[in-house]
Amino acid sequence: MTLSAYHATWSPDGAPAAASPHSQSYPVRLHDGSTLTLPLRPLPGGTQAIALLMANQTSFTVERQLIRLLAEMVSPLAPEAIVGVPTMGLAYARPVAEKLGLNDYVALGHSRKFWYDDTLAIPLTSSTSPDQTKHLYLDPALVDRVRGRRVVVIDDVLNTGRTAAAAVHLLERAGACVVAITAVLTEGWAWRAALAAACPNTVPPVHALGHIPLFGRQPDGWHPLPGT
C-alpha cells in the first residue's frame, strides 16, 4: 500500500462546515475560527479512518501556529508547571512552557532510567498492542517541579484517554495539583470514561483547540461515525 506524503495545513480563515463525504483530508475548525486541515489515514481493515495529526511531521508553519494557540489557551489557567505526555505531547509542552515564561517543563516518559523510582510509575496497556504493557514514568529528579504546584498537562491528541489519565494519577501521586488537561485535539469521546475512572473525585477540565471524529467508509467516501 502506497501512502501519499504527510501534509497538514493551517489557515487563519475558517473553513465552511465540513460536509461529508471526505476523500483525502478533513478540515478541523479550531476554537479561534482558524482551520487545521489533516490527512485521512485508513485504519487496519480499511473500514475506518482517522484524521491524523503527527506533531513530528507537520511543517514549521503549522507547528508555530498550534504552539501559539495552545499557549494562548493555557495562559489563563495560570500554570506553575507544564507537563508533557509522551510521545507527541512533548513536541508542544516544551515550547508552550517557554512561551508562558516558565523556566522549564516536565517530560513524562516510557523509558525507565536506572535511577527511577518504581513508585513514580504507572502501567499502561496500549489499545493497539493489548498484550504488551509499558509504563509511564516521572523522573524523581523532577518531582520538585510539580509538587504543590498548579500543573497543566499537555498532549497532542486525546483519544482513548489512557495516557492522560495515567499522567494525572502519577502527578497527583507526586503531590501536584493538576488544574487542566490540554490538547491540540480531542478525538472521539472514549477519553471521558478513562478520565472519570482515573479521577473518581474530580476530573480535571479538558481544553482542546478542536475536535475530530472517527470516520467510516461508505461507497462515496469517508463519513464521520455517529457519536464520535
Please check the confidence at residue 2 and state whether its pLDDT lies above 70: no
Average confidence (pLDDT) over 1-13: 84
Predicted confidence (pLDDT) per residue in 69-85, tens digit: 999 999 999 999 999 99
Evaluate whether 159 touches 195 at the Cβ level (below 8 Å): no
d(Cα 148, Cα 74) in Å, to the nearest integer? 19
pLDDT of residue 128: 47
Please check the confidence at residue 116 and state whether its pLDDT lies above 90: no
pLDDT of residue 126: 55
d(Cα 48, Cα 228) in Å, to the nearest integer? 12
Instruction: Give the closest residue to 28 by CA, choosing from 18, 43, 20, 40.
Output: 18
Evaluate whether 40 touches 26 at the Cβ level (below 8 Å): yes
DSSP annotation of 219: T
| Torsion sign, CA atoms 115, 117, 120, 121 | positive
pLDDT of residue 10: 96
DSSP string, 45-65: TSSEEEEPP-TTTS-HHHHHH
**How many CB atoms within 10 Å of residue 103?**
8
pLDDT bucket at 62, cuts 50 / 70 / 90:
very high
pLDDT of residue 112: 81
Which of 63-67, 90-94, 201-205, 224-228 is predicted least confidently?
201-205
> Mean of the per-residue pLDDT values for the chain?
92
Name residue, grid cell 498484550.
Answer: 131
| CATH numbers and ranges of domains, the chain | 9-224 (3.40.50.2020)
Which of 12-26, 107-121, 132-146, 187-201 is predicted least confidently?
12-26
Predicted confidence (pLDDT) per residue in 140-187, tens digit: 999 999 999 999 999 999 999 999 999 999 999 999 999 999 999 999
Q: Which residue has the higher pLDDT, 153 or 133?
A: 153
54: left (phi over 0), alpha (psi -120 to 50) or beta: beta
Please check the confidence at residue 124 and state whether its pLDDT lies above 90: no
Average confidence (pLDDT) over 26-47: 95
Which of 16-25, 83-92, 163-172 is predicted least confidently?
16-25
Alpha-carbon separation of residue 6 from 53, 72, 148, 190 (angstroms): 9, 27, 41, 26
Evaluate whether 167 touches 136 at the Cβ level (below 8 Å): yes
Predicted confidence (pLDDT) per residue in 177-222, tens digit: 999 999 999 999 999 998 998 887 788 999 999 999 999 999 999 9
Please check the confidence at residue 20 and state whether its pLDDT lies above 50: yes
Map residue 40 onto helix, strand or coil. Answer: strand
**How many CB atoms within 10 Å of residue 112?**
12
Percentage of the chain exceeding pLDDT 90: 78
